[in-house]
Amino acid sequence: AEVKCLYHAKFGADAGPKDDTYASKLHRCQDSLCELEAMFAQKYGHDINDVDEDVCVWIETTGHSRMETLEEKLAEVKCLYYEKFGTSAESEDAAYDSQLQRCEKSLNELEALFAQKFGHDINNVDEDGSMWIEMTGHICRETLEEKLAEVKCLY
Res. 136 pLDDT band, cuts 50 70 90: low
d(CA 95, CA 89): 10
Whole-number pLDDT of residue 155: 75
For the ranges 38-47, 54-63, 100-109, 140-149, the maximum mean pLDDT occurs at 100-109
Q: What is the pLDDT of residues 89-134, one digit of tens each?
A: 777 777 788 888 999 999 999 888 888 887 777 777 677 767 766 6
Burial class (CB in 10 A: 0-12, 13-18, 19+), 121: middle
pLDDT of 51 above 70: yes
Secondary structure (H, E, C), the chain: CHHHHHHHHHHCCCCCCCCCCHHHHHHHHHHHHHHHHHHHHHHHCCCHHHECCCCCECCCCCCCCHHHHHHHHHHHHHHHHHHHHCCCHHHHHHHHHHHHHHHHHHHHHHHHHHHHHHCCCCCCECCCCCECCCCCCCCHHHHHHHHHHHHHHHC
Residues 6+ apart with CB under 8 A from 15: 3, 4, 7, 8
Q: What is the pLDDT of residues 14-42, one digit of tens each?
A: 555 555 678 888 888 888 888 888 888 88
Q: What is the pLDDT of residues 71-90, one digit of tens each?
A: 888 889 888 888 888 878 77
* Residue 49 DSSP code: G
Whole-number pLDDT of residue 106: 92
